[in-house]
Chain A
Amino acid sequence: MLAEGHGAAPGLIPFLADLGAKPIWVASVILAATYAVIVSEKINRVVISLLGAGMMVGLGILTQDAAIRGVDFNTLALLVGMMVIVGIAKDSGMFQYIAIRTAQLVKGDPRMLMMALSLVTAVLSALLDNVTTVMLVVPVSILLCERLKLPVYPFLFSQIFASNTGGAATLIGDPPNIMIGSAVGLSFVQFVENVALPSAICFIVTTLFFDLIWGRKLEASQEDRDGVMKFNAREMITDTVLLRKSLFCIGLALFGFVVGHGHGYEPGSVALFCAAFLMFLDGLGHTPEKQGEKVHHAFTLVEWNTIFFFIGLFIVVYGVEETGLLSLMAEKLLALTAGDVKAMGLVIMWSSAILSAIVDNIPFVATMIPMIKAMGPAMGGDEALLPLWWCLSLGACLGGNGSIVGASANLIVAGFAERAGHRISFLGFMKLAFPLMIVTVMIASVWAWFFLL
């Protein structure tokens, strides 16, 4: 890809050039070092991704302009927009309300409760971001377990799986999908058509499995169940007006995602517009000072570390992309699979799943996207690549279930559970989660084989 004098490259700094270093090797070393440190978890991953990005510019692989071109602002806008919307919405107490009502709907029956809370988690994860969903549902779930004197672990475990399989179902459900959808220009509807069903099947299978090993053995006394039935869920709604405004804006955003694509509106614009509109509604009737406070608060709810992690990764990956490493890797993958789309799809899905279980799936997907794109011409155009994107999506999202570090939501659940006195051990979780993740990827493979590839 990179010819001498390519517009994006300022040229290696003299010291490295004198040593005879090639940009492609320098970029590869930066990428490998960045990923190695991220995997080791010795240094904060956000810091490392930004240092890696800084090296790409500092050593002359990319100019600042080129680095900025590498950042996918649509992904960032979608993430920031949804974080603001959900951040404001959660203050209305609506998510806790849903969890408590769910418990009462099943009359406090523990077996049904475990399935129902998983379903709630899965649906919310599909429509909102996984991390927020578990952050709101898990504390109430633990409280319900305490009240019903139930073991907490099965609930935490099943909700982690529900959040990742639910998130796999839609464009906005999980960061890998947001990135893939944004980079390739796939629509909300296309995601639902292609990956929602296999995700739903995986959800049903895992939920039934959890019922078999845990759910059916759970018991709660009638007295404790009566206690839950006496809960006044309405008390959970702290602000009815805010609730209506939030629901309206979430609905508006979903509507925008579905119909916007056909009219050239990217999800990033839709999400940011809806976030701005919710902040507008939320500020109505308040003094300028109070409005200022509310807006400030809304923006503190954005996980800026995640946003900057993305920025750093985008730049690191763009650096290796510009030097031609990724097209080289794409050629190798093409050669390995002899250009057979079925074989390639399965290789992509399985490698995404296994790697996403061990490493955070975000850097992996960021690297795979330009690599798969580079195979376009050899495979016969972008249309021919479509099945590969679904394989990447399913593999990366479902792979997140494989270990406690596989997805951000898992870490959030583990972190909260530990604070509340219920530790989830890394190996203990993985012993069951990894094989189960393999089963879900098998289901996805069968689906892909018959319907996607």
Chain B
Amino acid sequence: MSLKSIMIQKEDVISVTPDMTVKDALAKLVTSGVRSMPVIDSGGKYLGLFNFRALVGKLLPASACVEGGVASLSFMAEDIAFIIDKFEQAKAMTVAEIMRTDVPAIHMDTVFEEALLQIYSSDAPLPVLEPETGTLVGLFSKQCAIAHFMARASAGKGE
């Protein structure tokens, strides 16, 4: 089963450019109602993903966000000013500075089961790329997967 008919098609994907400010990207995130936006350059090449996790990774102390770091921040109670400070700084950055590059990318010919396994352990939708050029051709989200289950299940019943 190819992902072509299951994924969100390129023309429907809401994306941002790397030179956009974080402030503008956040506004776009809120108005369009999506949770993640791929970062695409002028040639259509996929560069990274902009979402909540990308933003909050810049707001939390770095030593709490990495492997082997501080396990709990419950001791920092009543210290929101620190986070807001960092939010103000992050707003002025460009999308390229905070985007995530750790989300696994898949290809159009990745089988559905594999795509499902990948998204099972991912907190974000997976970019679907053209292998040679790295151009974004679509986005595979959890909603895509659920819609596909439902479509197949009801189709099965009808037969």
In the complex, B33 has a CB within 8 A of chain A: no
**Chain A minimum-CB-distance residue to B65:** A420
In the complex, B1 has a CB within 8 A of chain A: no
Whether A147 contacts B82 in the complex (CB less than 8 A), given A235-B72, A419-B66, A419-B67, comes out as yes
Give 22 A-B contacts (CB < 8 Å), ordered by A residue.
A96-B70, A139-B63, A142-B61, A143-B70, A146-B61, A147-B79, A230-B78, A231-B75, A231-B76, A231-B79, A232-B76, A235-B72, A235-B75, A235-B77, A236-B75, A238-B72, A416-B63, A416-B68, A419-B67, A419-B68, A419-B69, A420-B62
In the complex, what's the smallest C-beta–C-beta distance from A326 to chain B, in angstroms?
Answer: 39
A-B complex: 9 closest residue pairs judged by Cβ atoms: A235-B75, A142-B63, A419-B66, A420-B62, A235-B74, A139-B63, A143-B63, A143-B61, A139-B69
In the complex, what's the smallest C-beta–C-beta distance from B63 to chain A, in angstroms?
Answer: 4
In the complex, B64 has a CB within 8 A of chain A: yes
Interface residues of B in 39-70 (CB under 8 A from A): 61-70
In the complex, what's the smallest C-beta–C-beta distance from B76 to chain A, in angstroms?
Answer: 6
Q: Give chain A's interface residues, CB within 8 Å of chain B.
A: 93, 96, 100, 135, 139-140, 142-143, 146-147, 223-224, 227, 230-236, 238, 416, 419-421
In the complex, B81 has a CB within 8 A of chain A: yes
A236 contact set on B, CB distance < 8 A:
72, 75
Determine the distance from Cα of A234 to Cα of B82 in the docked complex, in whole angstroms.
Answer: 20
Beyond A93-B72, A232-B77: 15 further Cβ-contacts under 8 Å? A96-B71, A100-B75, A143-B61, A143-B64, A143-B70, A146-B63, A147-B79, A147-B82, A230-B77, A231-B76, A232-B75, A235-B77, A236-B72, A419-B66, A420-B65
Chain A interface helix/strand/loop/mixed: helix
B70 contact set on A, CB distance < 8 A:
96, 139-140, 143
**Chain A minimum-CB-distance residue to B70:** A139
Determine the distance from Cα of A230 to Cα of B68 in the docked complex, in whole angstroms.
Answer: 25
Whether A416 contacts B66 in the complex (CB less than 8 A), given A147-B61, A235-B72, A235-B74, comes out as yes
In the complex, what's the smallest C-beta–C-beta distance from A421 to chain B, in angstroms?
Answer: 5
Chain B residue total in the interface (Cβ 8 A): 20
B66 close to A227 (CB less than 8 A): no
Determine the distance from Cα of A104 to Cα of B2 in the docked complex, in whole angstroms.
Answer: 59
Determine the distance from Cα of A168 to Cα of B94 in the docked complex, in whole angstroms.
Answer: 47
In the complex, what's the smallest C-beta–C-beta distance from B30 to chain A, in angstroms?
Answer: 28
B62 close to A233 (CB less than 8 A): no
B74 contact set on A, CB distance < 8 A:
232, 235
In the complex, what's the smallest C-beta–C-beta distance from B128 to chain A, in angstroms?
Answer: 29
A420 contact set on B, CB distance < 8 A:
62-63, 65-66, 69
Determine the distance from Cα of A94 to Cα of B68 in the docked complex, in whole angstroms.
Answer: 16
**Chain B minimum-CB-distance residue to A96:** B70
A223 contact set on B, CB distance < 8 A:
81
Determine the distance from Cα of A232 to Cα of B78 in the docked complex, in whole angstroms.
Answer: 10
B66 contact set on A, CB distance < 8 A:
416, 419-420
B65 contact set on A, CB distance < 8 A:
420
